[in-house]
Amino acid sequence: MNRKQSLVLIGSAAALPVVARPVFGQSLTSIKVATTPTDIGAQPFYATDMGFFKAAGLDANTQIISNGAAITSAVLGGAIDVAQSNIVSLALAREKGLDVVVIAPAGIYSSKEPTSAIVVAKSSSYKTAKDLNGKTIACNGLQNISQIGPEAWLDKNGGDLASYKWTDMPFPQMIGAINTGRVDAALIAEPVLSDALANGSRVLGYAYDAIAPTFLIGAWFTTGAWAKAHADTVKQFQKAMSVAAAWANKNRAQSAQILTKATQIVLVPTMNRTTYGEKLEPALMQPLIDATAKYGTLKKTFPAVELTLPAG
């Protein structure tokens, strides 16, 4: 999987049919895109295989980068034009004065189809947030959404936030850590969540529900300078992402094949999948920005619209 993730995707000759084509004679604009190997940021894989990039007039070279900090550095340094990141990281970048602007939505969290949960061992006695007081909880990165979400849930359900111990580990390692008692609970996301439940773990609570029933987890961003200098390309990219999102939201089985081919992530047919935003709505970013400030990762909250391109 790691070897595959380091590869650059260059318009694969997919077994799945291309359903959209550029206008005859239209020249394509080259664009360098980066995303994480996740369901949340998978739109470029669909846009490549299904021809949505070409239909929008783009020749997209999409690179998979697992590290969020590396993605931000690549965009700020000009090695990548547009990339996907989570709203927490983008809010922190803005707070540091970095020139980042959100131009399109990526994955949305929905309480109707939760893709993350606080999980405990099946044999554990934990049933409430208070039961975890003083216990150790695993998350996939300190002071990011996988800690902020559980903090919001624990806080909302009567837990003592000052008492918890947090440890950072990759999602796949959490299953063994829970089952052997090295941690008492963990925030686990799909597709590992399905594996955890299949291996005897149980859901204690859906943490992200405490942030909001629906909110934007990830987004496509670039620098303000690049967006200003490439206004037409930004519009083309926005179009491609919107079409890819609408297609993926209606074609889960086919999108799963493309995602597995691109990342080697195996998706269980019954697992919950990401819903993609089809248009950028700053209001959907606000709940996560507010929670990030409330639980101390941001110094203070700010209007989500300040992360987007100025009107006009």
DSSP letter (8 states) at residue 308: B
pLDDT score recorded for residue 311: 64
CATH of domain 2-109+214-307: 3.40.190.10
Per the CATH hierarchy, to which homologous superfamily does domain 116-210 belong? Periplasmic binding protein-like II (3.40.190.10)
Nearest to 169 by CA among 197, 140, 147: 140
- Ordered alpha helix ranges (H), the chain: 2-5, 43-49, 52-55, 68-77, 87-95, 145-156, 171-179, 192-198, 224-229, 231-250, 252-263, 286-294
Strand extents, DSSP E, 89-224: 101-105, 107-110, 116-121, 136-139, 165-168, 185-189, 201-205, 214-216, 218-222
- Consecutive H or E run containing 31: strand 29-35
Residue 231 CB coordination number (10 Å): 10
Nearest to 81 by CA among 227, 184, 275, 190: 227
| Domain definitions of the chain by residue range | 2-109+214-307, 116-210
| pLDDT tens digit at each of 312 positions of the chain | 433 333 333 333 333 334 444 444 569 999 999 999 889 999 999 999 999 999 999 999 999 998 888 899 999 999 999 999 999 999 999 999 999 999 999 999 999 999 999 999 999 999 999 999 999 999 998 989 999 999 999 999 999 999 999 999 999 999 999 999 999 999 999 999 999 999 889 999 999 999 999 999 999 999 999 999 999 999 999 999 999 999 999 999 999 999 999 999 888 888 999 999 999 999 999 999 999 999 999 999 999 999 998 865
DSSP letter (8 states) at residue 309: P
What pTM was computed for the model? 0.88
Asked whether this chain's domains 2-109+214-307 and 116-210 adopt the same fold, the reply is yes
